């Protein structure tokens, strides 16, 4: 089946630094990827929609200058948390939509997540 990977799986960074998280579709092409964040014992909240070759679309309340998204190829999207603060500590999950998804049972495939801790 379709696989989405994320790297790193865990990262600890100091306050004020930037950290990049990668999301890759391993065996399919994804024109659209989604980034979610999940606080402990809470549900997933959509942060932004990443479109290959164009600017990301951010959800209301999400700072686009803080959470930089780049979708440079059909298999890779990156989320960079700039000037990270402890309140950015969270679980970040990406999902990817198969470009040829029409008619398939599952529309999106989710990555395993990245645990970010800002000290």
Partner 1 sequence: KQEVTQIPAALSVPEGENLVLNCSFTDSAIYNLQWFRQDPGKGLTSLLLIQSSQREQTSGRLNASLDKSSGRSTLYIAASQPGDSATYLCAVRRGSGTYKYIFGTGTRLKVLA
> Using CA atoms, how far apart are residues 82 and 62, in angstroms rounded to an integer?
13
CB of 38 to partner 1, least distance (A): 9
| Binding of partner 1 by 39 (CB under 8 A) | no
> Using CA atoms, how far apart are residues 94 and 82, in angstroms rounded to an integer?
18
Contact residue for partner 1 among 66, 68, 80, 91 (CB under 8 A): 91
Q: Which stretch in 14-22, 65-73, 74-82, 99-107 sits in contact with partner 1 by CB under 8 A?
A: 99-107
7-25: b (≥16 Cβ within 10 Å) or e: eeeebebeeeeebebbbbb
| Binding of partner 1 by 62 (CB under 8 A) | no
Contact residue for partner 1 among 14, 43, 102, 103 (CB under 8 A): 43
């Amino acid at each position: 089946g379709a696989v989405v990977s994320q790297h790193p799986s865990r990262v600890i960074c100091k306050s004020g630094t930037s950290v990049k998280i990668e999301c890759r579709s391993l065996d399919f092409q994804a024109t659209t990827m989604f980034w979610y964040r999940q606080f402990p014992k809470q549900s997933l909240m959509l942060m932004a929609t990443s479109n290959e070759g164009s600017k990301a679309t951010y959800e209301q309340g999400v700072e686009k200058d803080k959470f930089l998204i780049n979708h440079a190829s059909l298999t890779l999207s990156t989320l960079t948390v700039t000037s990270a603060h402890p309140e950015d500590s969270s679980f970040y999950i990406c999902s990817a939509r198969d470009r040829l998804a029409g008619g398939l049972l599952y529309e999106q495939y989710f990555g395993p997540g990245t645990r970010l801790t800002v000290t």
